[in-house]
């Protein structure tokens, strides 16, 4: 009898563990409280943001990149390989790109003579291409992966909320499931199942504001696009000496962007619309009320970045991910259980790198 791996949560982290469990010949059961995955994994930019990571996250991202490319062939979803363009709109931002290029070399970071985008702000002073980065459409890949796994024998039980995980079994709203091993991949809801573990890890919830806007002029923008604000957000870019100058200048001239923790960036959807964001607001419990001025700030800045007067909003939403002092939470409340949460907003980039390391330890 093959061992049974029970996975709680059908977001990208749960699915990555399911892919890995199947690869290792395990019997895999995935439990999710919803009718389909509607969490962070379908609400994001689909940006496989490899190069801007640092240290352990960079290693996981490079491994995950290989799996994304492999799965794209086997599952049959599209991966965009045009990389990421990082725009610099001030000398200190250009210094970050130059330092990053020197550090990582040509295979990872290329300074560009010309900005390869159809739309761009007129204050852009330079840009870099991160050619290893990928893009996927999260709204396509998450259900596609679940369907593909299901066809390979993974037992998905939807609308089945897990109420507790104990050695050898998982209790759910639809009865008890026996398990040789359990991976709890519930994203930002670890505290609902294991409150003490969540408190110990310093877990909180980060809520982001997101927009889908019509692409001005219907232009195609193949790469993901990051801005100077992204240089403060991603560990690899933020580790360059010049990043401190970028932060100090923005704090002096545009403090409202730091107050709302804006990471101005966008990716394009298959229908041509641009996914634009984002903001970061941290709390254990988020109230339901959204201030319009924060949305206006992001949309105004995004329009400026694209060099247009205004953007036409097609959709708005919020997304929540788990946040903690470390980039990843991997905990073992008992020997056959692992709690896995990407606590830094990079689950699309790293989940496929993380899952094999977690199953190695189980
Ligand atoms: C707006 C936004 C933009 C982002 N952009 C990017 C990006 O471009 N690139 C990137 O790398 N990362 C990005 N991220 C981060 C990334 O989306 C997350 O790290 C990742 O999706 C987390 O995956 P997950 O499977 O842990 O969580 P989720 O996708 O939230 O899945 C958790 C699942 O667990 C289920 N669940 C919870 N509790 C229970 C229970 N008790 N019983 C049963 N089921 C349960 C939920 O129903 C849910 O389906 C972004 C995040 C957000 C919110």
**Phi, psi (5° rounding) for residue 111?**
-75, 140
**pLDDT one-digit tens code per residue, 207-225:** 999 999 999 999 999 999 9
Q: What is the pLDDT of residue 120?
A: 86
What is the SS3 assignment for 209? strand
Tell me the DSSP string of 38-106. -SHHHHS--EE--TT--HHHHHHHHHHHHHHHHHHHHH----B-S-EEEEE-SHHHHHHHHHHHHHH-T
Q: What is the pLDDT of residue 234?
A: 97
Q: Which of 15, 36, 41 to mutate to test the pocket of ligand 1 (most atoms within 8 A of CB)?
A: 41
User: pLDDT band at 92, cuts 50/70/90?
Assistant: very high
CA of 347 to the centre of ligand 1 (A): 7
Q: Which of 340, 347, 354 to mutate to test the pocket of ligand 1 (most atoms within 8 A of CB)?
A: 347
**pLDDT one-digit tens code per residue, 221-278:** 999 999 999 999 999 999 999 999 999 999 999 999 999 999 999 999 999 999 999 9
- Atom 26 (ligand 1): residue with closest C-alpha? 187
User: pLDDT band at 345, cuts 50/70/90?
Assistant: very high
- Atom 14 (ligand 1): residue with closest C-alpha? 345
User: pLDDT band at 2, cuts 50/70/90?
Assistant: confident
- To which residue do tokens 């093959």 refer? 2
User: pLDDT band at 184, cuts 50/70/90?
Assistant: very high
Domains along the chain with CATH numbers? 4-361 (3.50.50.60)
What is the SS3 assignment for 23? helix
Taking the C-alpha atoms of residue 105 and residue 82, their distance in angstroms, rounded to an integer, is 18
Q: What is the pLDDT of residue 3?
A: 84
Calculate mean pLDDT across residues 129-138: 98
- To which residue do tokens 């939470």 refer? 329
CA of 322 to the centre of ligand 1 (A): 8
- Residues enclosing ligand 1, CB less than 6 A? 8-14, 31-34, 37, 39-41, 43-47, 49, 161-162, 185-187, 189, 192-193, 208, 210, 278, 319-321, 341-342, 345-349
CA of 303 to the centre of ligand 1 (A): 28
- To which residue do tokens 């991949």 refer? 185
Indicate whether 318 pLDDT > 90: yes
Indicate whether 1 pLDDT > 80: no
Indicate whether 148 pLDDT > 90: yes
SS3 for 111-168 is EECCCCCCCCCCCCCEEEEECCCEECCHHHHHHHHHHHHHHCCCEEECCCCEEEEECC
Contact 168, 247 (CB under 8 A): no
What is the SS3 assignment for 187? helix
């Amino acid at each position: 009898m093959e061992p049974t791996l029970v996975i709680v949560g059908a977001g990208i982290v749960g699915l990555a563990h399911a892919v890995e469990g199947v690869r290792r010949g395990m019997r895999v059961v995935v439990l999710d409280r919803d009718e389909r995955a509607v969490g962070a994994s379908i609400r994001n930019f689909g940006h496989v943001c490899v190069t801007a990571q640092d240290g352990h996250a960079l290693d996981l991202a490079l491994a995950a990149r290989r799996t994304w490319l492999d799965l794209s062939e086997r599952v049959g979803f599209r991966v965009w390989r045009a990389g990421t363009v990082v725009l610099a709109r001030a000398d200190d931002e250009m210094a970050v790109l130059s330092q990053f290029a020197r550090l990582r070399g040509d295979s990872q970071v290329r300074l560009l003579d010309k900005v390869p985008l159809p739309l761009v702000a007129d204050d852009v002073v330079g840009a870099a291409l991160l050619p290893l980065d990928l893009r996927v459409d999260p709204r396509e890949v998450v259900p596609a992966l679940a369907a593909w796994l299901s066809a390979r024998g993974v037992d998905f039980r939807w609308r089945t909320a897990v109420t507790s995980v104990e050695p050898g079994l998982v209790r759910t709203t639809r009865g008890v499931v026996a398990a040789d091993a359990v991976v709890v991949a519930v994203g930002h809801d670890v505290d609902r199942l294991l409150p003490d573990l969540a408190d110990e890890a310093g877990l909180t919830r980060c809520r982001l504001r997101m927009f889908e806007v019509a692409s001005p002029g219907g232009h195609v923008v193949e790469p993901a696009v990051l801005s100077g604000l992204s240089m403060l957000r991603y560990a690899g870019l933020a580790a360059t000496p010049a990043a401190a100058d970028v932060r100090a200048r923005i704090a002096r001239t545009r403090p409202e962007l730091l107050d709302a923790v804006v990471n101005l960036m966008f990716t394009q959807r298959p229908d041509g619309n641009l996914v634009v964001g984002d903001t970061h607001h941290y709390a254990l419990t988020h109230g339901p009320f959204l201030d319009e001025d924060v949305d206006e700030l992001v949309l105004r800045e995004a329009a400026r970045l694209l060099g247009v007067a205004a953007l036409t909003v097609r959709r708005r939403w919020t997304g929540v991910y788990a946040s903690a002092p470390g980039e990843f939470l991997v905990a073992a409340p008992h020997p056959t259980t692992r709690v896995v949460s990407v606590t830094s907003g990079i689950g699309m980039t790293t989940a496929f790198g993380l899952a094999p390391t977690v199953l190695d330890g189980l």
